[in-house]
C-alpha cells in the first residue's frame, strides 16, 4: 500500500513565507546593486567545477591561437624513418605511422576543434535564436510556418544529414564542415528560444512596456531577449562540446576536414590501422578530444546551475 | 455515515465524545522552527505556544513572513526538512507527543486525526486522477476499503460538501471544477476520516468573495455537526472576525497577542494588532482614514534585537523595547500580550514617540 | 475627492465590446464561438476623480482595463478621450494617446523587468517618447519621481529583486507617472500586497491624485478598498455593468441583486456583527462567458428571477423611484450593510 498523495503546499509558498526578501528599509544605506548576472557570476566564481573547466578552456584557446608557444616542431613534417616510434627526446608523444610528431599534431589539432566549436555554436545561436524568437513573438501563421520548418530540420539525423550535405561538395574545408553541422544543429536552439520567449512574452513587464508605447523591436531587444537568453546560453555551452565531437566524427569518417588540416579526428582515423601495434598513436589525440569535450560539458553544467535559480 | 462495509483499523484511542470536553485536543508548546539557508538561519517560528479545545475555532493571524504557515506545517509534520528543522518544542495531540514519533506512527495521525487544507486547490489536487479517486484514496489506504466502497464514500462526502450531481461528477478531474468547488473537494478529502482537527491554510484567499462566504459557511456547518476543531491560518482580519473563537496574532515568528475575538477587535493589547486594525479599509465605514505601519516586516535571518516590532512601532521606547524581548504576559483570563506596554495599549494611554 | 464635477467626462466608454473567438482546427481555423468577455459596457470618468470597477472573476474587469489601455483592440464600441474616439487608433496616433493614459499592474513581482535597474525602468517612458524630456534631464526627473512615490532616489542603480513588494509597486507607479498622464488605469494594484503595506500604497494613490489632479479607473475585487478610494463605482457581472452610481449610492442603497449579494459577502472585521448581518448566499457557479444565459445574465443565481428575466435583457437605466442606473427588472433598494460615517 502506498502513502496517499496527501496534498502538500507548493515549495515556493514555504520559501516566500519563511524568508522575506533581504531588503534594507527605505531609510537604509545604499546597498551594492546586484543584477541577476552578477549574482550568477558570484556563484560561478565559487564553483570548483566552473573554475577547473574555465581554466582548461582558456588554456585550450591559447593553444589554438598560438600553438607555436607550445612546440617548435612542424606538425606536417613527417619522416617515415620514425614511423610508429614511441617517445623520443624532443618528441614526448612519439610518432604516427607516417612519422609525424604526435605532440605537435595534438597541439596544432586544437585549433581545428576549437574553431569549429566556436563557429558552429555562434552560427547556431544566431540562426536558431532569431527563428525561435520571431516565431514565438509574432505567433500565428509565422509561428506555424517556422515551427514546421524547425521540425523538419529537427527530424533529420545529425550525422547522416551532415554526411549527405558534405557529399554535395567536391572540395573539403573547414567552412563546409561548419556549415554542415550548423544547418542541422540550429533547431534545438530555435525550440529552446521559442519556449523561453513564449513564457517571457506574457510577463507583466512586457505588458507595461506595450502600455508605454514601446515598439516591437524595443520590446524584443530590451525586455524579451535578456530574459529569454539564459536557457539558450546553457544549451549553447553544452552543445559546444557535442559539436566538437561531431567534427571529429566526420573527420574520422574521412568526410570532415581535409587531411591537409591538422585535426584530432583525422588523426584518430589514421591511427585505426596500427591500433594493435602502436596504440600510443590513437591514445593522445583521443585523450585530447575527450578532455576538451569534458571541459565544455562541465562548463555548461556549472553555467546552468548558476543561472537556473535566477530563471524563476 | 455508515461504517459497516469498511474495515476500521484505526486505533481505539480516539472515540470522540468520551473525552473530557475541557481538555485541549491539541497543545503546542514553545515551538521553534529554523530554516537553514545559504543566506543564514531564518528563525521562522520562535517559541509559539497555544492550545485548541474540541469544537473550537482558533485563528492564527499574520502577514507574510510571520511564520503562521510554517507553524501549521510543523504541526502536520510536513515541513521540508532540509532546509526546515524543528529545533525545540512540543506538539501534543490528546497528550501524545507528535514531534518525537517515528514517521510511520506520525502518518497515522496525519489525515486521520489532523487534516489540512491549502490555499490553492488546483495545485494541491493531482491533475491526473479523478476527484473520486483522490477522495477515495483516504479510505483505501487508511481503512483498507475496496475500490467500490471507496467510491461510495467519495460520493457521500461530495454530497456532504454540497457538490451538485455528485454521482455523475465523481469521475471528473480537478480542472473540470471551479475554484470554489475544488476547495470543497479538498475539504471532502480532509473530512474523509473524521479528523478531530482541520487546519486550513489560507483556504479562501484565492477565491471570489461570494464563493469565500459559501466555503466558510460550509466549514462552520461541518464543525457544528462533528465538533471538529478548526485552526484557520490567514491574513484576512475580516474572515477571522466572522468565524474565530480565539485569535493568535503572529509577527516575525513569534506570537505577540492572543485573545478571544471580541476582545481583540474592540480592545487590542499590542501595538501591532492595533495598527493593523487601523490600516484596513472597512466596507461599512465612510470617510475612513487609513493609518499605515511604516517599514516592512523583518528578514527572518536578521530579526531585530529586543522586540521584533520595535523598528516599526510608533510607541517604541528606549532602551527597553530596543533591547529586551517582551515575554508573553497574561493580560486577563484567556488573553496574553507580548508587549512591554500592554497595559497602556489596552487603556489607550500609550504615547507616540 | 472631486469638489465639483465638470460637464464633460475626461474618459467615456460607450457600448464597448470584446469577444475572444474560440477556434477549431490547426491550419484552417474555424470559429465555433466566442468568449464574450466584455459585452457592451458604458462608463464615465470625470477629471480628478476615481471610478471604481468591481466584480468577481470572469466579470470582464481585467479585459476592460486592457481595452482602456488599448492593449487589446475592441470588437466594437467607442472609447472617448476628451471626446475623441481612440478605440480603433493605431501607430503614431495611438502612441501619442498613451502619454495621457497609463497603467499600474497587479503583481509587483512580475511587472518590473528583472534585468533592468530601477532607474532604467522609470526612465523608459522618456526613451520611448523622446520629446518629453531631453536626455540630460532624465536622470534628475527619475530621481524626482522616485521621491514623489516615497522611495530613496539614490537607489536608482538597484535591481527590482532588491526591493520589497510594496516598494516595487511604488516603482511601477513612478513609471506610470513619468509621462504626466491625465488618467491612470489601476488593475488590482494592491491585491498582491500585505495588509499593512496596502494602506501605504492606497494612501500614496490618494496623495498623488490630490497633488497632481489625476483621474483613476480603479479596478479591484476588494470592495472595502474600492469604497475607500472611489468617488463613483461600476459593478460588473459576466461582461456587463449591472449597476453604477456614486460611492454612497452603491454601498448604502444598492438596487441590483448581484450588488446586494456581493456586499453581503464582504467580511467585516467586527465580531460583534456576527449573526446581525444581512447574509445573502448565492447558489451555484458563475456561468461560462462563452455561453452566457439569455436575457439577464444573473438570472441563474438570482432569487428574484422571473420569466421576463430570461426573455428580456434589462438595460442599465435609472428606474422608477431610484436615483442611479441599475440593470434589473425588479431593482429595489436593500440596505445590506449599515454604514458608519467616521470622517
Express each pLDDT in A77-93 by its tens digit. 888 888 888 878 878 88
A-chain residues within 8 Å CB-CB of C111? Answer: 204-205, 207-208
Question: What pLDDT, in 10s, does the model give residues B237-258?
Answer: 999 998 899 999 999 999 999 9
Residue A241 pLDDT > 70: yes
Query: Do the chains contact at B311 and A8, CB–CB below 8 Å?
Result: no
Residue C7 has a pLDDT of 76
pLDDT at A12 exceeding the cut of 50: no
What is the SS3 assignment for chain A? CCCCCCCCCCHHHHHHHHCCCCCCCCCCCCCCCCCHHHHHHHHHHCCHHHHHHHHHHHHHHHHHHCHHHCCCCCCCCECHHHCCCCCECCECCCECCCCEEHHHHHHHHHHHHHHHHHHHHHHHHHHHHHHHHHHHHHCHHHHHHHHHHHHHHHHCCHHHHHHHHHHCCCCCCHHHHHHHHHHHHHHHHHHHHHHHHHHHHCCHHHHHHHHHCCCHHHHHHHHHHHHHHHHHHHHHHHHHHHHHHHHHHHHHCCCCCCCCCCCHHHHHHHHCCCCCCCHHHHHHHHHHHHHHHHHHHHHHHHHHHHHHHHHC
% of chain C surpassing 90 pLDDT: 74
> Rounded distance, CA C116 to CA C119, Å?
8
Interfacial residues of A (vs C; Cβ cutoff 8 Å): 20-21, 23, 26-27, 30-31, 33-37, 144, 203-205, 207-215, 218, 222-223, 226-227
Is residue A3 scored above 80 in pLDDT? no
Distance from CA of B247 to the nearest CA of A (A): 20
Mean of pLDDT values over A111-137: 93
pLDDT tens digits along C130-139: 988 898 899 9
Chain C: touching chains (3 or more CB pairs < 8 Å): A, B
Which pLDDT score, from 0 to 100, does residue B21 have? Answer: 67
Q: Given a cut of 50, is residue C318 above it in pLDDT?
A: yes
Count the domains in chain A: 1
Fold of B26-250: Rossmann fold (3.40.50)
CA angle C113, C119, C121 (to 5 degrees): 30
Q: Which domain holds residue A117?
A: 57-63+110-311
Predicted pLDDT of residue C311: 93
Contacts of C37 (CB under 8 A, 6+ apart): C18, C19, C20, C60, C63, C239, C289
- Nearest residue to B158 via CA among B168, B169, B148, B166: B166
Query: Is the predicted pLDDT of residue C264 greater than 60, yes or no?
Result: yes
Instruction: Grade residue C45 by pLDDT with cuts at 50, 70 and 90.
Output: very high
Q: Is residue A230 part of a domain?
A: yes
Residue at A289 is within a domain: yes
Q: Is residue A23 part of a domain?
A: no
Cβ C117–A227 below 8 Å, yes or no?
no
Give the mean pLDDT of C173-190. 95
For C277-303, write each residue's pLDDT tens digit.
888 888 777 888 888 999 999 999 999
pLDDT at B34 over 80: yes
Inter-chain touch C196–B275, beta carbons under 8 Å: yes
Helix residue ranges per DSSP H, A202-278: 204-212, 216-218, 225-252, 264-271
Nearest to A204 among C110, C115, C161 (CB): C110
Mean predicted confidence (pLDDT) in C259-272: 92
> Out of B179, B236, B297, whose CB is closest to C267?
B236
SS3 A109: helix
Nearest-Cα residue of chain C relative to residue B235: C195
Query: Taking the domains of chain B in order of start, what are their residue ranges?
Result: 26-250, 252-347
Question: Has residue B221 got a pLDDT over 50?
Answer: yes
Check C337 against B282: CB less than 8 A apart: no
Instruction: Work out whether the CA dihedral C38, C42, C46, C49 comes out positive or negative.
Output: negative
Instruction: Count the Cβ atoms, other than its own, within 10 Å of residue B290.
Output: 17
Q: Which residues of C touch B284 (CB under 8 A)?
A: 268, 270, 337-340
Interval A208-231 mean pLDDT = 92
Q: Which residues of C touch B239 (CB under 8 A)?
A: 267
Tell me what pLDDT residue B19 has.
Answer: 58
ipTM of predicted complex: 0.88
pLDDT value at A297 more than 90? no
> What three-state secondary structure class fits C101?
strand
Least reliable range by pLDDT among B101-105, C117-121, C326-330:
B101-105
Residues of B in contact with A47 (CB under 8 A): none
Confidence of residue A311 (pLDDT cuts 50, 70, 90): very low
Which position has the higher pLDDT, A83 or C242? C242
The verdict on residue A22 lying in a domain is no
Q: Does the distance separating the beta carbons of B282 and C285 come in below 8 Å?
A: no
Smallest CA–CA distance from A43 into chain B, residue: B38
Amino acid at each position: 500500500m502506498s502513502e496517499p498523495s496527501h496534498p502538500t503546499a507548493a515549495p515556493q509558498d514555504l520559501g516566500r513565507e519563511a524568508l522575506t526578501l533581504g531588503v534594507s528599509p527605505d531609510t537604509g544605506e545604499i546597498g551594492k546593486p546586484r543584477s541577476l548576472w552578477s549574482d550568477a557570476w558570484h556563484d560561478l566564481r565559487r564553483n570548483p567545477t566552473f573554475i577547473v573547466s574555465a581554466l582548461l578552456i582558456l588554456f585550450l584557446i591559447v593553444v589554438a591561437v598560438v600553438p607555436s608557444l607550445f612546440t617548435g616542431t612542424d606538425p606536417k613534417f613527417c619522416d617515415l624513418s620514425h614511423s610508429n616510434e614511441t617517445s623520443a627526446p624532443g618528441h614526448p608523444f612519439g610518432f604516427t605511422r607516417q612519422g609525424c610528431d604526435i605532440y605537435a599534431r595534438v597541439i596544432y589539432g586544437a585549433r581545428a576543434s576549437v574553431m569549429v566549436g566556436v563557429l558552429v555554436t555562434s552560427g547556431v545561436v544566431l540562426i536558431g535564436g532569431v527563428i525561435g524568437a520571431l516565431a514565438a513573438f509574432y505567433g500565428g501563421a509565422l509561428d506555424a510556418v517556422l515551427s514546421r520548418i524547425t521540425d523538419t530540420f529537427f527530424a533529420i539525423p545529425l550525422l547522416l544529414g551532415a554526411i549527405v550535405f558534405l557529399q554535395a561538395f567536391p572540395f573539403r574545408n573547414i567552412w563546409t564542415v561548419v556549415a554542415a553541422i550548423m544547418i542541422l544543429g540550429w533547431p534545438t536552439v530555435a525550440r529552446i528560444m521559442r519556449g523561453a520567449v513564449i513564457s517571457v512574452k506574457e510577463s507583466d513587464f512586457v505588458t507595461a512596456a506595450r502600455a508605454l508605447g514601446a515598439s516591437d523591436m524595443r520590446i524584443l531587444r530590451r525586455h524579451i531577449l535578456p530574459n529569454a537568453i539564459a536557457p539558450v546560453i546553457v544549451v549553447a555551452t553544452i552543445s559546444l562540446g557535442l559539436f566538437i565531437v561531431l567534427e571529429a566524427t566526420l573527420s574520422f569518417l574521412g568526410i570532415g576536414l581535409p587531411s591537409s588540416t591538422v585535426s584530432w579526428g583525422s588523426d584518430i582515423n589514421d591511427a585505426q590501422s596500427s591500433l594493435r601495434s602502436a596504440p600510443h598513436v590513437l591514445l593522445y589525440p583521443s585523450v585530447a578530444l575527450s578532455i576538451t569535450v569534458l571541459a565544455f560539458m562541465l562548463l555548461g553544467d556549472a553555467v546552468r546551475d548558476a543561472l537556473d535559480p535566477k530563471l524563476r | 455515515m455508515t461504517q459497516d462495509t469498511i474495515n476500521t483499523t484505526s486505533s481505539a484511542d480516539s472515540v470522540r465524545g468520551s473525552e473530557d470536553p475541557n481538555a485541549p485536543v491539541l497543545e503546542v508548546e514553545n515551538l521553534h522552527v529554523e530554516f537553514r539557508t545559504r543566506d543564514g538561519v531564518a528563525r521562522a517560528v520562535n517559541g509559539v505556544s497555544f492550545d485548541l479545545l474540541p469544537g473550537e475555532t482558533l485563528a492564527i493571524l499574520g502577514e507574510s513572513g510571520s511564520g503562521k504557515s510554517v507553524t501549521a506545517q510543523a504541526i502536520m509534520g510536513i515541513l521540508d526538512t532540509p532546509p526546515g528543522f524543528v529545533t525545540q518544542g512540543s506538539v501534543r495531540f490528546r497528550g501524545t507527543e507528535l514531534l518525537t514519533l517515528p514517521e510511520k506512527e506520525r502518518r497515522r495521525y496525519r489525515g486521520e486525526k489532523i487534516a489540512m487544507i491549502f490555499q490553492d486547490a488546483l495545485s494541491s489536487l493531482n491533475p491526473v486522477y479523478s476527484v473520486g479517486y483522490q477522495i477515495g484514496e483516504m479510505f483505501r489506504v487508511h481503512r483498507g476499503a475496496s475500490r467500490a466502497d471507496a467510491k461510495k464514500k467519495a460520493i457521500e462526502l461530495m454530497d456532504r460538501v454540497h457538490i451538485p450531481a455528485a454521482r455523475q461528477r465523481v469521475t471528473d478531474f480537478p480542472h473540470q471544477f471551479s475554484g470554489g468547488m475544488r476547495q470543497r473537494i479538498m475539504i471532502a478529502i480532509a473530512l474523509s476520516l473524521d479528523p478531530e482537527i482541520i487546519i486550513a491554510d489560507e483556504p479562501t484567499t484565492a477565491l471570489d468573495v461570494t464563493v469565500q462566504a459559501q466555503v466558510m459557511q460550509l466549514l462552520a456547518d461541518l464543525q457544528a455537526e462533528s465538533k471538529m476543531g478548526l485552526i484557520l491560518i490567514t491574513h484576512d482580519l475580516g474572515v477571522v472576525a466572522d468565524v474565530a473563537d480565539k485569535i493568535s496574532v503572529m509577527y516575525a515568528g513569534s506570537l505577540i497577542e492572543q485573545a478571544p475575538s471580541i476582545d481583540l477587535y474592540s480592545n487590542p493589547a499590542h501595538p501591532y494588532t492595533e495598527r493593523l486594525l487601523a490600516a484596513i479599509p472597512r466596507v461599512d465605514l465612510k470617510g475612513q482614514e487609513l493609518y499605515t505601519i511604516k517599514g516592512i516586516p523583518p528578514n527572518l535571518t536578521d530579526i531585530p534585537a529586543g522586540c521584533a516590532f520595535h523598528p516599526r512601532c510608533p510607541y517604541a521606547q528606549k532602551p527597553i523595547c530596543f533591547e529586551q524581548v517582551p515575554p508573553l504576559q497574561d493580560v486577563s483570563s484567556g488573553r496574553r500580550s507580548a508587549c512591554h506596554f500592554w497595559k497602556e495599549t489596552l487603556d489607550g494611554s500609550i504615547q507616540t514617540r | 475627492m472631486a469638489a465639483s464635477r465638470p460637464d464633460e467626462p475626461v474618459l467615456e466608454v460607450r457600448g464597448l465590446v470584446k469577444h475572444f473567438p474560440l477556434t477549431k482546427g490547426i491550419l484552417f481555423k474555424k470559429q465555433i464561438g466566442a468568449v464574450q468577455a466584455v459585452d457592451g459596457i458604458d462608463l464615465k470618468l470625470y477629471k480628478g476623480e476615481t471610478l471604481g470597477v468591481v466584480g468577481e472573476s470572469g466579470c470582464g474587469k481585467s479585459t476592460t482595463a486592457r481595452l482602456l489601455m488599448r492593449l487589446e483592440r475592441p470588437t466594437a464600441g467607442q472609447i472617448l478621450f476628451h471626446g475623441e474616439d481612440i478605440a480603433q487608433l493605431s501607430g503614431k496616433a495611438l502612441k501619442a494617446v498613451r502619454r495621457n493614459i497609463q497603467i499600474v499592474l497587479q503583481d509587483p513581482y512580475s511587472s518590473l523587468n528583472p534585468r533592468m535597474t530601477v532607474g532604467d525602468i522609470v526612465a523608459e517612458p522618456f526613451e520611448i517618447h523622446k520629446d518629453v524630456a531631453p536626455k540630460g534631464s532624465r536622470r534628475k526627473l527619475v530621481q524626482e519621481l522616485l521621491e514623489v512615490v516615497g522611495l530613496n532616489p539614490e537607489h536608482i542603480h538597484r535591481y527590482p529583486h532588491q526591493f520589497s513588494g510594496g516598494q516595487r509597486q511604488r516603482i511601477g507607479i513612478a513609471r506610470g507617472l513619468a509621462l504626466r498622464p491625465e488618467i491612470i488605469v489601476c488593475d488590482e494594484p494592491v491585491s498582491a500586497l500585505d495588509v499593512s503595506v496596502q494602506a501605504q500604497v492606497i494612501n500614496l494613490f490618494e496623495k498623488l491624485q490630490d497633488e497632481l489632479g489625476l483621474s483613476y479607473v480603479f479596478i479591484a475585487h476588494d470592495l472595502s478598498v474600492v469604497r475607500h478610494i472611489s468617488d463613483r463605482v461600476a459593478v460588473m457581472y459576466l461582461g456587463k455593468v449591472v449597476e453604477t452610481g456614486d460611492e454612497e449610492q452603491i454601498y448604502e442603497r444598492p438596487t441590483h441583486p448581484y450588488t446586494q449579494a456581493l456586499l453581503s459577502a464582504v467580511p467585516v472585521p467586527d465580531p460583534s456583527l456576527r449573526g446581525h448581518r444581512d447574509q445573502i448566499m448565492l447558489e451555484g457557479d458563475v456561468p461560462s462567458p462563452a455561453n452566457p444565459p439569455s436575457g439577464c445574465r444573473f438570472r441563474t443565481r438570482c432569487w428574484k428571477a422571473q420569466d421576463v428575466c430570461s426573455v428580456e435583457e434589462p438595460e442599465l437605466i435609472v428606474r422608477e423611484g431610484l436615483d442611479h442606473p441599475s440593470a434589473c427588472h425588479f431593482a429595489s433598494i436593500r440596505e445590506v450593510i449599515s454604514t458608519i460615517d467616521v470622517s
